[in-house]
Structure 1
């Protein structure tokens, strides 16, 4: 291996992930992170496109996943497993980490020459898990990453006394910078969650002071709170809502009233105890956070702040400081980051953290970064009082047959806050009205189906008029504050969730809109039959 060669990591969050990357960077190697839950075909594409020479994986499960793509792994010098695995002739270059260390020691080649990379040298190629098309390799230099990490500290201060719980994949630049590089710089402690499924237990056992997450996780906690409230007596429900309102007034600059200290002790502290009881800062990024979710957590006394960024900006552009937190915004630009509004209200970004370009893709690079160095984010925004407000995506606009333009993202965010609804996709491009594809929460659906006299185990029940009308009523309640265009006329229901495994979600938990629409064409046609 020589400086500039690419090596890949496909591990869950762990000390081994960090140690492997630090070792690779100290040798001048370029790190390519991979998602452990990505499809084998995507992994093969990335390994070949980046020309990866060494791949580090967990163990037998990864090897089994790779069997269909084994011929495409022949370019690897080594396929290294952390755990010992059974012998397999499919991977002649496979070696267990312990055996590799022993082999290097016996050969006398263990004294590797450390490299002092230049700031502009390539440090990593991060493949974006785009919702359409092949992933593109974002090239980030050492200077890109470090300048971004330093510029984030005034908005997101982290101290030696802090404990962070890492559960977003380290393949995601948000977690990598905020949950790995910055804690190392500041001397903070990082604990690694066992899995998202065991996150609730890990929060209680580790009691973090800082949490970094995407909206999906905060929304799940919010929905659990709402579901739990429904089982409480009316007085307890009123007490909870009174607590949130008092805490919200306090957040907005008021006192919260004389009752706030008592409400905090009786209600807010008990809810926060389920998150470990020590959280002083919760950072949300990766996608917009619902205002209702933000208000609830802020009203409970949690410093929940939103940030904004892209992989192409290393990744952070802005963030809300705790002392200047507007939950409707994604915060103020970080030091050294320039922002402005371009044509069609597009947010443009320029600065030291902007990527070097896309790996082996100068055309895509030129499309993304103009001749003046401005990176075109594809997000519509406005800037007021130095705060950035994201108002939509340029390409995610539904145009109805009457020419009316509808931004679906805010509607979907509001609808998905209903405990009955697990996921939703608004449909209507070129159609006379809006409809929606809806994934139901199974326990909630069972209760509603029984109330309607339907058999929840019968798939036909999902297509019944009674079930569809019931879900539409829930949606009406969620959209009552929206403009007149936000009317969902009909729905198509399912229980099976959209997921990474069935290729309808990206590894960063964003819906692959095109893939979902392509796989549900018949159901969509039925929603518009007769019109």
Structure 2
């Protein structure tokens, strides 16, 4: 098998016959060449990943964000798995207290933050489908989704409430309440409530539920989330994603890392900045949660992205081409200014390690010597994570850091 290939043929082409059209050969990822994986029988939904981690790692750091004082961001402040679980159960109880039953829909609207994840887990706890919203949808699309998905409760950043209030008169048939991640100005609260929709702060809402003795049972084929497209061609289309799909994504991530690198453990930390409204960050977040790792969030401003990384010093970073292009440009500028010998040494080390990676070596095995004398210097300059995952066309590519 060609080790530089990402797919392997597992079935030959078939000619047209019996009224059926011809079909080309069947290919599969090289990491699944021996067959598709079986999902763990004991995991029925993402809730099982979280609740299991709470039992195993109650005191581990789970969710963190930078403390802001006088407009200046400081160190990260963390909540443990146990603390997050307690808040999630409270939020879930409050959702049920509003008469929202398993199978109903709640929306989550805002930048990545601890409350986003807790709202997601609260929905998971009650077997309620969560529907992410995001800014690039536009007002018309947000209005359409709130109505089309029959949203019962919408969790959102306080900065989103004003824009949502402007469209509530057109879509209040199903919405029972808006819950802000932060405090709600009294004038805005009154504006929303005058439209017949309750409005609460995060802390206020978390005190409104009664103790729940038993959580609803979840099934693999229950709908976990509905993710809407941006609607560039007509109205947004909702993509239904089941618990099974999320569990499969998490399980596959573990399998891929076992074969190519190192699996995540409770000592790892993940820097979350890719939109949680998209499936990629949700799968990686759930995977980290399943392992008892910690998740830290950026401030929400691209100008301070690398500053947040430098303060947090995560071991896991997921990116898209635009971000990696910035990192590449910065690294390349440092290399070009380092002199002829340094440039040649770096290029030789890069080619050497890349060649070993392409030949099947794992990240930490591909070039321990050059990791110490070459790549460690680059890592120190940029304070980049131990693992860098490049998100593109559905595959992971390892960068040259260790």
- Which band: TM-score by shorter chain? 0.5 to 0.7
8 A Cα contact 1:55 1:79, kept in partner: yes
Write the mapping of 1:62-101 to structure 2, written as runs, cut at 5 A. Answer: 62-75=160-173, 76-86=175-185, 87-88=187-188, 89-92=190-193, 93=197, 94-101=199-206
SS in structure 2 at match of 1:252 = helix
Q: Which residues of structure 2 form unaligned runs of 5+?
A: 1-99, 258-262, 362-366
Matched, 1:2 2:101: yes
8 A Cα contact 1:203 1:275, kept in partner: no
Deviation sequence 1:235-281 (CA, Å, 0-9, x none): 526523531332222331399xxxx888655653222124425x332
Residue 218 (structure 1) aligns with: 324
Deviation sequence 1:355-411 (CA, Å, 0-9, x none): xxxxxxxxxxxxxxxxxxxxxxxxxxxxxxxxxxxxxxxxxxxxxxxxxxxxxxxxx
Question: CA 1:261/1:121 → structure 2, altered by over 3 Å: closer, same or farther?
Answer: closer
Deviation sequence 1:108-160 (CA, Å, 0-9, x none): x4547521111111111011336544331111111121122112212122222
Q: Which has the higher contact order (CA 8 A, sep 6+)?
A: 2
Residue 514 (structure 1) aligns with: none
2:330 and 2:281 map into 1 onto residues whose CA distance is: 24
Residue 245 (structure 1) aligns with: 348
8 A Cα contact 1:57 1:82, kept in partner: yes
Moved more, 216-225 or 85-94: 85-94
Deviation sequence 1:321-369 (CA, Å, 0-9, x none): xxxxxxxxxxxxxxxxxxxxxxxxxxxxxxxxxxxxxxxxxxxxxxxxx
8 A Cα contact 2:371 2:401, kept in partner: no
8 A Cα contact 1:243 1:264, kept in partner: no
Q: CA RMSD in A?
A: 2.9
Q: CA deviation at 1:99?
A: 2.5
Alignment length (residue pairs): 281
Matched, 1:35 2:134: yes
2:353 and 2:334 map into 1 onto residues whose CA distance is: 25
Write the mapping of 1:374-523 to structure 2, written as runs, cut at 5 A. Answer: none
Deviation sequence 1:1-32 (CA, Å, 0-9, x none): 11111001113222211221111111111111
Residue 25 (structure 1) aligns with: 124
Matched, 1:152 2:256: no
1:74 and 1:274 map into 2 onto residues whose CA distance is: 52
Larger radius of gyration: 1
Residue 415 (structure 1) aligns with: none
Question: CA 1:236/1:67 → structure 2, altered by over 3 Å: closer, same or farther?
Answer: farther
Residue 128 (structure 1) aligns with: 229
Residue 286 (structure 2) aligns with: 181
Deviation sequence 1:274-329 (CA, Å, 0-9, x none): 4425x33211114589xxxx8xx84xx326xxxxxxxxxxxxxxxxxxxxxxxxxx
1:269 and 1:137 map into 2 onto residues whose CA distance is: 44
Match for residue 168 of structure 1 among 274, 281, 286? 274
- Which structure carries more helix by proportion? 2
1:28 and 1:19 map into 2 onto residues whose CA distance is: 14
2:219 and 2:287 map into 1 onto residues whose CA distance is: 20
Question: CA 1:250/1:223 → structure 2, altered by over 3 Å: closer, same or farther?
Answer: closer
8 A Cα contact 1:229 1:237, kept in partner: no
8 A Cα contact 1:165 1:191, kept in partner: yes
Q: CA deviation at 1:67?
A: 4.5
Residue 310 (structure 2) aligns with: 204
Q: Which residues of structure 1 form unaligned runs of 5+?
A: 304-531
Matched, 1:58 2:157: yes
1:223 and 1:118 map into 2 onto residues whose CA distance is: 47
1:144 and 1:101 map into 2 onto residues whose CA distance is: 29
Residue 72 (structure 2) aligns with: none
SS in structure 2 at match of 1:170 = coil
Match for residue 268 of structure 1 among 371, 375, 378? 375
Q: CA deviation at 1:54?
A: 0.5
TM-score of the superposed pair, with normalisation by structure 2: 0.63
Matched, 1:15 2:122: no
Q: CA deviation at 1:163?
A: 1.3
SS in structure 2 at match of 1:91 = helix
